[in-house]
Amino acid sequence: MDLRQLRYFISIVEQGSFSKAAQELNVAQPALSLHVRNMEESLGTKLLFRGPHGVTTTEAGQILLRNARMIIEQINHAQEEILEHEAEPAGEVHLGLPGTISQILSVPLLLAARDRYPKIKLRIAEAMSGFVLEWMRDMRVDLALLYIPVSDRQLVSHPVLTENLWLLGPPKPMPGVASPSTRTVSFDAIARLPLVLPSHSHGLRSLLEDAAARNEFTLGPILEADSYGNIKGLVEAGAGYSILPFNAIAREVSAGRLLTWKIKEPGITRSVYVVKPVDRPMGNAARAIYSLVNETLNMLVDTGKWHGVKKAPKEKSN
């Protein structure tokens, strides 16, 4: 096996089909099939299941995928170390963000990276925190911001912000549902409303369930949606109420498409964490972006562009 075959194999698995991988790699599909067949013959085992809906890895294929990613990561790091002899950081950095953070952080961060580090290619991918954490563990992103703390043999996190959550509702009253009559609302009143929330696999749902349990409430009827766009769309359509940070709904509120209520003290807050690997070295480019992420977050808080957040207390060094 060679590095080219490993890169091809990773792309086939991540794209889910030979045809999509061929398009991404600009390689003929029969050539990809031949490479995989040669790898399987060399290893004496099947690596992929081929089906009508694409390809999936066998157990042996999953082992190869994990090790192939580590090998490619080490090669990339070696290249970056060599490039460190230059005056500027250079290379490609992948950053994973939850959608609510991406919509306020991505643009200023990309612009700052372009201006300060023109030799770094910053790639941003967004999803809910649970998926972004999987990307970090699978080495599909180099750095991440999450709403959940992480500390294990692979990853470490530190809190950077604390964010207030708001109740949001449809612009018109829902039939048979009394909208909150004041601009602030208690958590017990929220618990009685029909809610649109992400599923149990996501941190926001766990946060709200835990808050309800502490206050001895049971959350009202719940309609599940696992993207913030769908949650906002369902609320706007009159399917229920939800709880999100203000920056995630600022545009819709400004346009009159959603109503908001502040949650009474002590309110509901969640922390934002910057996550980096500890089981593999960070290259020069990744370290530069890591520092730039923290700098950009501070700027957004100091200028008031990120509404309803405050900086997390600095952690004491041991």
The pLDDT profile of the chain, 318 residues, written as one tens digit per residue, is 788 999 999 999 999 999 999 999 999 999 999 999 999 999 999 999 988 888 999 999 999 999 999 999 888 877 777 766 555 788 899 999 998 899 899 999 999 999 999 999 999 999 888 889 999 998 899 999 998 888 788 899 999 999 999 999 998 888 777 777 778 898 888 888 899 998 887 778 888 888 888 888 888 788 999 888 899 999 999 999 999 999 889 889 999 999 999 988 778 889 999 999 987 878 889 999 999 999 999 999 999 999 888 998 776 544
What is the 8-class DSSP label of residue 63? Answer: H
Q: What angle do CA 150, 153, 157 make, to 5 degrees?
A: 25
Domain edges within the chain = 3-81, 88-161+271-311, 165-269
pLDDT of amino acid 275: 95
Distance, in Å, from the CA atom of 29 to the CA atom of 20, rounded to the nearest integer, reads 9
Phi, psi for 152 (deg, rounded to 5): -155, -165
Residue type, 50: R
Reduced to 3 states (helix: H, G, I; strand: E, B; else coil), residue 148 is coil
State which fold the 88-161+271-311 domain adopts. Answer: D-Maltodextrin-Binding Protein; domain 2 (3.40.190)
Same fold, 88-161+271-311 and 165-269: yes
pLDDT of amino acid 318: 44
pLDDT of amino acid 152: 82
Pick the CATH number of 3-81 from 1.10.10.10, 1.10.1270.20, 3.10.150.10, 3.40.50.720: 1.10.10.10
Residue 30 tokens read as 């029969």
Distance, in Å, from the CA atom of 165 to the CA atom of 161, rounded to the nearest integer, reads 13
Model-wide pTM > 0.85: no
Distance, in Å, from the CA atom of 224 to the CA atom of 166, rounded to the nearest integer, reads 18
Reduced to 3 states (helix: H, G, I; strand: E, B; else coil), residue 265 is coil
How many C-beta atoms surround the C-beta of residue 241 within 10 A? 25
Pick the CATH number of 165-269 from 3.40.50.10330, 3.40.190.10, 3.40.50.150, 3.40.630.30: 3.40.190.10
Residue listed under structure tokens 């309110």: 267
Q: At what angle do helices 284-302 and 59-83 cross, to 10 degrees?
A: 80
Tell me whether the omega of the peptide bond preceding residue 266 falls within 30 degrees of 0, making it cis: yes
